[in-house]
Amino acid sequence: MNFDMPALLVLLGSLFLLLGCTGEIFSKHLSVKLSQLTARIVLASVGLFMLGIGIIGPDKLLSPTQADEEPEIITEAAAIPSAWFFNIAGSYQGQATSTGQAYPVRTTFSIDSKNKIIGTYIIQENTKPIGGTLTHAEITGPKAIQFKWHDDNGSGILQVEFSEDLNSFIGHWGAGDTLDNSAVWNGVRE
């Protein structure tokens, strides 16, 4: 005997749902009356479940999940496969170039109370330290983040890419809203 399982589930689910909601089914060959509220609720629920399986398909609805799949974490910045960026918190000593000359820079990354990536930096330019902030973090790759930098000299974009162990980064920065004519900004964890 050959029958269509999804069609049978839809038919039985519809009958159970009808019996659960109305409490009775009368037809030429069938007469069923159900008076207990609990039984009606259970029958209607089973009917809905059977309808769902019949419509969606048993193979899609009842397929086992992969136990080894890592759950996806959604951040405000972007959808990423894991929260690797929590591990970048700390200070990094490195260099930033400006007008062709390299200057020492200390870059500090942290995670604020809203789980946003933020940062600060101090560039030792000649004898005058310049402090600034890194805001508007956006995950742009597997281990890459783009920031908006701000200090007394202006603002612009900083794009950094971290090493696999997150102990260093290589970056490029530019003034304004572009990385055209960008300069180097890097760091190694202290």
Domains and CATH numbers, the chain: 5-61 (no CATH), 74-189 (2.40.128.120)
pTM, entire model: 0.57
128-141 pLDDT, tens digit each: 899 999 999 999 99
d(CA 48, CA 35) in angstroms, rounded, equals: 19
Q: How confident is the model at residue 106 (pLDDT cuts 50, 70, 90)?
A: very high
In this model, does residue 187 exceed pLDDT 90? yes
Q: Return the minimum-mean-pLDDT range out of 23-27, 55-59, 130-134, 148-152.
A: 23-27
CA-based nearest residue to 144, from 96, 66, 84:
84
**In the predicted structure, residue 87 carries a pLDDT above the cut 50:** yes
